[in-house]
């Protein structure tokens, strides 16, 4: 007698061990610090999604890490500590939409025949590109090769390059010769970026560039600072000037708290994208 075999379909076995496990507090905070080494800034909602936890949990983690000096808390997220300021090439890839909106707003503040001093930086580079595309017949004094190259696409602008020591990481010139050269010029407006924006004033992660930006402020009738909200309440190494009524902050969000109060007391104009 031949025994017939009956084949039965094999059911799929789900291995629960394959599901991602939720990190404990210590591992979660270590992951946040590691992520900020790869991406210099992250928002609370991005971290919550990445770690599969609530935004409230992320905020508590950020507060603890900030107290330990491992990160810098910002408006709605976190940044690397000041020592981890990324190079210009890396910063150009961050906050692109915000920088573009800030640049578009800042261009509307420029008038015919203005003489501009433009500092180096990722946001000021966006501004220079838009300046080349939208306006003509301006005189621009700069220490940044990227700014000069962006403006060179429009031959109707006159670009003056400052002398000094070259910083390859930032693609700009600084040093005593640069400051001496600035003393021979006057500008209607200085357009400057910032590594951080605090109640003391705009600041930069580098002493050399900070000295240049301070000199540009003193040689210009008005200063326009371009900084997105991730720079709010983020202290950097060198405060390059105090807030005054001759300054405008162009950003993508309204500063609040101590920073907002300091701007109001100083009479700083705050401009946001429409």
What pairing do the DSSP bridges indicate for beta strands 172-174 and 165-167? antiparallel
Domains of the chain by range and CATH? 23-82 (1.10.10.10), 88-271 (3.40.50.1360)
Measuring CA to CA, how many Å separate 126 from each of 54, 129, 272?
35, 5, 16
- Per-residue pLDDT in tens (0 to 9) along the chain, 274 residues: 445 445 444 444 344 344 446 788 888 988 898 888 777 688 999 999 999 999 999 999 998 888 877 788 887 888 766 544 455 555 555 678 899 999 999 999 999 999 999 999 989 999 999 999 999 999 999 999 999 999 999 999 999 999 999 987 778 999 999 999 999 999 999 999 999 999 999 999 888 999 999 999 999 999 999 999 999 998 888 899 999 999 999 999 999 999 999 999 999 999 999 8
Measuring CA to CA, how many Å separate 238 from each of 44, 66, 156, 191, 194?
28, 20, 35, 17, 10
Percentage, residues of the chain above pLDDT 90 = 64
Q: What is the pLDDT of residue 86?
A: 53
Provide the token pair at 62: 């950020």
Residues 69-95 pLDDT 10s = 778 888 788 876 654 445 555 555 567
Q: What is the pLDDT of residue 35?
A: 85
Task: List 160's β-bridge partners, or say none.
Answer: 141
What's the predicted TM-score (pTM) here?
A: 0.69
- In the numeric block, the tokens 């696409």 are attached to 153
Output phi, psi for 15, to 5 deg. -90, 110
């Amino acid at each position: 007698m031949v025994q017939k075999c009956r084949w039965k379909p094999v059911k799929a076995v789900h291995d629960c061990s394959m599901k991602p496990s939720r990190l404990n507090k210590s591992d979660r905070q270590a992951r946040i610090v590691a992520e900020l080494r790869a991406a210099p800034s992250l928002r609370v909602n991005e971290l919550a999604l990445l770690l599969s936890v609530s935004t409230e949990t992320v905020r508590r983690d950020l507060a603890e890490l900030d107290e330990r000096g491992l990160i810098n808390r910002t408006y709605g997220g976190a940044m690397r500590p000041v020592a981890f300021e990324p190079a210009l090439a890396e910063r150009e890839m961050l906050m692109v939409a915000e920088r573009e909106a800030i640049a578009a707003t800042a261009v509307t503040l420029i008038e015919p025949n203005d003489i501009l001093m433009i500092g180096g930086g990722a946001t000021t580079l966006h501004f220079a590109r838009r300046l080349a595309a939208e306006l003509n017949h301006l005189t621009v004094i700069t220490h940044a090769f990227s700014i000069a190259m962006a403006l060179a696409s429009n031959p109707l602008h006159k670009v003056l390059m400052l002398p000094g020591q070259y910083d390859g990481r930032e693609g700009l010139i600084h040093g005593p010769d640069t400051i001496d050269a600035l003393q021979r010029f006057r500008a209607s407006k200085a357009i400057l970026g910032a590594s951080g924006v605090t109640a003391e004033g705009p600041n930069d992660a580098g002493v050399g560039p900070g000295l240049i930006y301070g000199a540009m402020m003193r040689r210009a009738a008005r200063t326009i600072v371009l900084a997105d909200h991730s720079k709010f309440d983020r202290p950097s190494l060198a405060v390059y000037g105090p807030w005054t009524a001759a300054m405008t902050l162009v950003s993508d969000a309204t500063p609040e708290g101590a920073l907002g109060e300091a701007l109001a007391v100083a009479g700083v104009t705050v401009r946001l994208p429409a």
